[in-house]
Chains A and B, each alone.
Chain A
Amino acid sequence: MMRLVIWILAGVVLGGIVHLVTVLVLPRTATQDAYMRIEPLTPVNAVAALPTPSPSTATLPFMDPAFAVAVCRYDLSETPLKLTAPVSQAYTSVSFYTRYGVAYYAINDRAAGRRLIELELMTAAQKSRLPDDEEVTAADRLIVESPTLTGLVVLRALSPEPGSMPVARGILAAAQCRPNPLEG
């Protein structure tokens, strides 16, 4: 009897470990996460529009149908990137996700405070190679540091009513994401 209790206890402890390990490992092994779903639809280091979600087709679950969405799937292993997006009358935002879907930075048009959202994306190593004086003169440069080499930049433009969807899509069509090599 005592022996059975010990085996059950051992099973419970081991079960706890199994639970923690599976939860922690799942993001790395998921085959249908957002990045994997977006990858076949988008080129690397360029902006591509995602189709507007409908009941029969949606790139990702839980997309907001009131928004036009475009994605820049990035790879910083060669050079940093520069991202520019015009802002719409309504609402425009730029969100940054790691390869595993962690939202590490997001900014909207009002926070950016300009007619054009302009951001530089680089890794911590690339940022540390920026010349010192350049950092001083570039106080108004908005630099975003990516924790991973690859990931997703998601641009969203609100269409406040269905009729304004073409305008929102047009705004995103003018957005750019391109390699921006460090000087020197």
Chain B
Amino acid sequence: MQSLFGSFFAFVVAAALGLGATWLTLTRGTAFGAVAIGAWTAWPKTGTTEIDPYARAVVARSGRLPLGSGDGVAFEARNDDRGKAFDGRCDVVVSGTTPPARFWTLTLYDPDGRLVANTVNRYGFTSQEIVRRADGSFDIVIAPRARPGNWLPTGGVGRYMLVLRLYDTPVGVATRTERDAPMPAIALRSCP
């Protein structure tokens, strides 16, 4: 009788731990093969056949297709350089330069990877669209209300994330540091 209760208890512990760990790793993501530069993180191996089992599970569950490594690499950011999670009611400035690439795009998504509705139907910028300074650097202002220059609307959502995709770029599996890939800074400018 005691061993019956014992094994039942063990099974409950196993189910809670096992499924809990799976759920956590799939929703939070793992650090395997991650390249973190400033507030940006990329998983270049996710676009190769060496993708790890956790990333495979995340890809399958979310329904996305990862960017193939011969195509480009995607950097994600969910918070600014100081670690504060993005809030769609605040003004955030993405500025500086980007790593070498033939083209890049910056896109704003909700945490589930959907585009966010806004009055001007702008969901992101490409490297050719943005207004730059004479030295090639740029500012993109992510804000709920219209701003001069490169304005990326948040649509007033709560949480959101930014994805910077570099196409035809040397940045990839071999990239480790800021020197290989100088990512733009992300700063909180103001909050209501």
From A51-59, A123-131, A173-181, the one touching the partner chain is A51-59
A8 at the interface (CB under 8 A from B): yes
Residues of A within 8 A of B19 (CB): 18-19, 22
Q: Scan residues 37-94 of chain B and give those whose CB is less than 8 A from a CB of chain A.
A: 46-49, 51, 53-54, 56-57, 59-72
Q: A100-B60, A107-B70 are in contact. Are A19 and B65 (CB under 8 A)?
A: no
Q: Are B103 and A90 in contact (CB under 8 A)?
A: yes
Name which residue of chain B comes closest to A33, CB basis.
B60
Q: What distance in Å separates the Cβ of B78 from its nearest Cβ neighbour in chain A?
A: 13
Contact of A93 among B2, B25, B65, B71 (CB under 8 A): B71
Chain B's interface size range is 35 or more
Contacts of B95 in A (CB 8 A): none
Q: Known: A15-B15, A108-B167, A158-B167. Is A60-B63 also a contact (CB below 8 A)?
A: yes
| Contact across chains for B14 and A15 when beta carbons are under 8 A apart | yes
Q: A23-B25, A56-B117 are in contact. Are A103 and B48 (CB under 8 A)?
A: yes
Interface size on A, residues (CB 8 A): 63
Q: Give the nearest-CB partner of A106 in chain B.
A: B68
Contact B64–A7 (Cβ < 8 Å): no
Q: Show the binding face of B for A, using Cβ within 8 Å.
A: 2, 6-7, 9-19, 21-22, 25-26, 46-49, 51, 53-54, 56-57, 59-72, 102-103, 105, 107, 109, 112-117, 123-124, 126-129, 155, 163, 165, 167-168
Given A6-B6, A19-B18, A34-B65, 7 more contacts at CB 8 Å? Answer: A15-B21, A17-B14, A18-B14, A65-B115, A90-B103, A103-B49, A161-B128
